[in-house]
């Protein structure tokens, strides 16, 4: 221990304090030797050395620096600078690999250090206090984080995914650079949430985006496809998928997710839908004349004694009607592309509409008793044809999925600010797990009954789209094997 320090602190006290201090070493300002005067326990530990092996030796004898000589952060340069300037110098990160006697090799280590000049009796710089901290763990963790971020970025770039994150408390919004590309802007454009939203039509935003986000506030997840308009006015499609994060009070705090450009897939789908629309449209004409001929034949042969012929005509009529239903379903489905389902709002009497739908359905229904007791007028503002389509779907399903001779009851009434329409049957019912899903496109509940009943799972999907476009609600209450009641309500 240096005798030079005896005026400031008793040597034994100095030794104890110093040796217990964090990774510190005290070197003499004897350029270029920098004799080591004291080292703390931690310093010895992190450098895998012993006090006997280093005290009294030149710093660079013990810690050779040949490979670091030109490095501005190298200890020799820093020590010299501290003595010349009399200023403390910190080095936030540098690499100095440590020899491991057990393995016989060098281990990669990163350090941060501070170098403080210490004055001697003559007020000149006599020592340097060098304090080092081993930050290998932090540096490696940071490197790993950067690497994983890079990997994620590369994966996103490779799959064309852009990511976004919205803080719902202060509405701050960040998105990955890929978003500019997907939304048709030059690379590097920073886009705000408002700018991105302005590329979605107000109608699509209301019916697709907002609806999906509102559902996500309960379910925690959202998934939707929507059309966007690029600055050059071309139409593109995106698929948005994401989740909502809640705090302990179950309040939503963040919404985040990915955006994928699905324009190519969507164009294929649109081409396919156009084909279905065209094909179903072409099929409609021969089917209509087939239907007319069957009706003519039925009239002509009314009162015939030939039971086979009248039976065959009834069956042929039924089959043609089924086929017409399917074809109209496909036609409607192809019209459902956002922006294509246009509502023609008019005032009409709901009771009259229900009576009409029953009258249209009755000629083909010889099996069930249909009960409807209207009370006066029930005027609503809505698309009459489309609401008629919903009632017709409810009614034909009630007949399809309930035993012959059973009753189907229709009703309409005012409930608060809404008109509520219900169609109840005593049929096979819908299992609880299927009750929400049957309103999805092509979903059919699985059961032995259903397999024998024809259908494509389009009707309720269309009904639900129509009702939602009216800002109404659609749902089912049902018990298996007891029956179902399908409802819709429309704001008055």
Contact set with ligand ADP (CB under 6 A): 393, 397-398, 401, 425, 427-430, 438, 444-445, 450, 455-461, 484
In this complex, which beta carbon is closest to ligand ADP, that of residue 11 or of residue 479?
479
In this complex, which beta carbon is closest to ligand ADP, that of residue 427 or of residue 472?
427
Q: Specify whether the CB–CB gap between 355 and 372 falls below 8 A.
A: yes
CB of 249 to ligand ADP, least distance (A): 38
Please confirm whether the linkage preceding 32 is cis (ω < 30° from 0): yes
Q: What is each CA distance from 55 to 36, 60, 83, in whole angstroms?
A: 5, 12, 21
In this complex, which beta carbon is closest to ligand ADP, that of residue 122 or of residue 448?
448
In this complex, which beta carbon is closest to ligand ADP, that of residue 244 or of residue 398?
398
Go through the chain and tell me how many residues it has.
492
In this complex, which beta carbon is closest to ligand ADP, that of residue 131 or of residue 393?
393
CB of 170 to ligand ADP, least distance (A): 43
Here the tokens at position 300 are 């002509």
Give which of 80, 50, 78 is closest to 62, Cα–Cα.
50
CB of 174 to ligand ADP, least distance (A): 41
Q: Specify whether the CB–CB gap between 341 and 469 falls below 8 A.
A: yes
- Residue number of the CB closest to ligand ADP reads 455
In this complex, which beta carbon is closest to ligand ADP, that of residue 361 or of residue 397?
397
CB of 335 to ligand ADP, least distance (A): 16
Q: Specify whether the CB–CB gap between 292 and 321 falls below 8 A.
A: no
CB of 329 to ligand ADP, least distance (A): 7
DSSP state of 35: B
Give which of 370, 423, 365 is closest to 394, Cα–Cα.
423
- What percent of the residues of the chain are helix, what percent strand, and what percent coil, each to the nearest 5? 45, 25, 30
Give which of 103, 46, 93 is closest to 73, Cα–Cα.
93
Q: What is the CA radius of gyration of the chain?
A: 40
CB of 463 to ligand ADP, least distance (A): 7
CB of 403 to ligand ADP, least distance (A): 11
In this complex, which beta carbon is closest to ligand ADP, that of residue 42 or of residue 402?
402
């Amino acid at each position: 221990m240096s005798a030079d320090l005896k005026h400031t602190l008793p040597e034994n006290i100095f030794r104890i304090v110093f040796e217990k201090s964090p990774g510190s070493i005290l070197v003499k300002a004897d350029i270029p030797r920098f004799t080591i005067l004291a080292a703390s326990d931690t310093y010895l530990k992190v450098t895998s050395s012993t006090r006997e092996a280093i005290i009294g030796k030149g710093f660079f004898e013990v810690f050779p620096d040949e490979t670091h000589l030109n490095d501005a952060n190298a200890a020799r340069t820093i020590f010299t600078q501290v003595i010349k300037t009399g200023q403390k110098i910190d080095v936030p990160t540098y690499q100095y690999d440590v020899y491991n006697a057990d393995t016989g090799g060098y281990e990669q280590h990163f350090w941060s250090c501070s170098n403080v000049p210490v004055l001697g009796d003559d007020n000149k710089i006599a020592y340097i206090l060098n304090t080092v901290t081993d930050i290998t763990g932090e540096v490696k963790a940071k490197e790993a984080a950067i690497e994983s971020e890079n990997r994620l970025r590369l994966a996103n770039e490779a799959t064309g995914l852009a990511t976004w994150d919205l803080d719902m408390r202060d509405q701050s919004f960040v998105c990955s650079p890929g978003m500019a590309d997907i939304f048709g802007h030059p690379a590097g454009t920073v886009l705000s949430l408002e700018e991105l939203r302005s590329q979605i039509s107000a109608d699509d935003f209301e019916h697709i985006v907002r609806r999906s986000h509102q559902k996500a506030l309960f379910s925690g997840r959202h998934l939707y496809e929507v059309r966007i308009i690029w600055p050059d006015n071309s139409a593109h499609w995106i698929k948005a998928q994401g989740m909502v994060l809640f705090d302990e009070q179950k309040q939503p705090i963040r919404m985040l997710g990915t955006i994928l450009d699905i324009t190519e897939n969507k164009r294929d789908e649109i081409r396919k839908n156009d084909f279905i629309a065209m094909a179903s449209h072409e099929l409609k004409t021969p089917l209509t004349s087939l239907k007319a001929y069957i009706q003519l034949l039925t009239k002509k042969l009314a009162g015939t004694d030939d039971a086979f012929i009248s039976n065959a005509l009834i069956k042929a009529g039924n089959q043609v009607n089924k086929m017409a239903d399917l074809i109209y379903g496909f036609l409607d489905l192809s019209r459902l592309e956002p922006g294509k389902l246009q509502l023609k709002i008019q005032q009409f009497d709901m009771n009259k509409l229900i009576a009409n739908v029953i009258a249209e359905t009755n000629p083909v229904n010889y099996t069930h008793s249909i009960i409807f007791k209207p009370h006066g007028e029930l005027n609503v503002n809505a698309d009459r044809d489309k609401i008629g389509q919903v009632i017709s779907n409810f009614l034909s399903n009630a007949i399809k999925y309930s035993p012959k001779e059973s009753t189907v009851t229709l009703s309409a009434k005012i409930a608060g600010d809404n008109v509520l329409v219900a169609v109840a049957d005593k049929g096979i019912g819908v299992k609880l797990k299927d009750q929400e899903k049957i309103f999805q496109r092509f979903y059919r509940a699985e059961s032995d009954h259903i397999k024998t009943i024809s259908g494509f799972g389009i009707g309720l999907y269309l009904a639900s789209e129509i009702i939602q476009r009216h800002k109404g609600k659609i749902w089912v209450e049902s018990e298996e094997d007891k029956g179902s009641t399908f409802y819709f309500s429309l704001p008055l």
